Amino acid sequence: MAADDNDAMVTDTALPAPQPAPHPALSPSDPPALAGLAGFAGTTRLDDWGLIRAQGEDAAKFLQGQLTQDVEALTPDRATLAGYCSPKGRLMASFVVWRAAPDQLLLACSADLLPGVLKRLQMFVLRARCKLSDASAELALWGLAGTTAAPGAAADAAIWSHTRQGDAHAVRLPDAVVDGQAVPRWLYAAPPGSPAVTEGPALAPAVWQALEAHSGVPRILAATAEQFVPQMVNFEQVGGVSFRKGCYPGQEVVARSQYRGTIKRRAQVLTSTQPLQPGQEVFHSGDADQPAGMVVLAGSLASGRYSALVELKLAALEGGSLHAGGAAGPLLALQPLPYAIAEEVP
């Protein structure tokens, strides 16, 4: 569902709304709200994530000129979300970035696009004193959810804080919010077989993926690469873009989307009784010909309860209903975002 480069900015023509229902609701046959969140506490190996290492005196400087966030300002106790854009301002990848050492940064991203992104970044190193490599085999990535799964000293850490624990790294991610309750989350990088995570309770990968969706923090996968300008998936709302740093690929488009137009697409949390997939198109009941959005992330909280973070035309929320795969597909129900959309971002 690629759109033109101004797609995040221009005001949409209102979609037909024969059935006024601004917030599509679950039908009476849908599962009730989950009884408590204890089942969301545990750890899962993130086999669909990978890790890039940037090593060298110029590592931070090099990444500063490539990514959407201010990497040079990153302190050892902090992590950040950052994007890697095409010249057209479309997100080719998203990263969780932190300093592992004064001259070393680690970038966690989706494993299915890591090889291509790594190769592309290496093309631009040139004379910079920076070596980029795939560190996925050296440090396994784990998702930890719930207070009982907190990695030791990082249990009370602030959002986007980074804690070094020997050879391991813990990054406090934004909470997921399910049925109005916050579920703490951590990204944990440790040598394979680390007892700090392998001895904890197991969490199903699909549940972790659903919690990702309920956090409202996008992660770009191969299925969604180059589909979105950052604002279309709330990337600047969750700390993924600095509008005060220097140039990077696609910066002009990203800045123009922020300051010179009306943003008409945003990410929303939707639920369904049927499975959803990243890259799947979403349709409005009043327009069977043109998709209204695309699934960014998807997972399952329980049998019959599926969740997704969906990039969506704001006009599609003004009436009618939303459906997966086609205008007659499974009904989607709108859920609250875990944060308010700010009109101005620092």
Query: How many Å apart are CA 307 and CA 312, to the nearest integer?
Result: 15
| Residue 296, in any domain of the structure | no
What CATH number has the domain bearing residue 191? 3.30.1360.120
Query: 337 in helix, strand or coil?
Result: coil
| Residue 67, in any domain of the structure | yes
What are the angstrom distances between the C-alpha of 162 and each of 101, 171, 290?
12, 5, 42
Tokens matching residue 139: 């440090």
| Residue 277, in any domain of the structure | no
Q: What share of the chain is helix, strand, coil (3-state, %, to 5)?
A: 20, 35, 50
Cβ atoms within 10 A of the Cβ of 45, count? 17
Cβ atoms within 10 A of the Cβ of 304, count? 13
Number of domains in the chain: 1
Residues 6+ apart with CB under 8 A from 32: none
| Residue 172, in any domain of the structure | yes
**pLDDT tens for each residue of 107-147:** 999 999 999 999 999 999 999 999 999 999 999 999 999 98
2 has a pLDDT exceeding 50: no
Domain encompassing residue 48: 38-203
Query: 245 in helix, strand or coil?
Result: coil
**pLDDT tens for each residue of 185-209:** 999 999 998 876 766 789 999 999 9
Query: How many Å apart are CA 206 and CA 32, to the nearest integer?
Result: 19
What are the angstrom distances between the C-alpha of 2 and each of 5, 8, 91, 165, 297?
9, 11, 12, 42, 17
Query: How many Å apart are CA 271 and CA 34, to the nearest integer?
Result: 13
What ranges in 23-71 are assigned the alpha helix state H? 59-64
Q: What is the pTM of this model?
A: 0.90
| Residue 55, in any domain of the structure | yes
| Band of residue 21 on the pLDDT scale cut at 50, 70, 90 | very low
| Residue 308, in any domain of the structure | no
Query: How many Å apart are CA 148 and CA 94, to the nearest integer?
Result: 28
Query: How many Å apart are CA 96 and CA 172, to the nearest integer?
Result: 11
pLDDT value at residue 343:
79
pLDDT value at residue 193:
82
| Residue 64, in any domain of the structure | yes
| Residue 345, in any domain of the structure | no
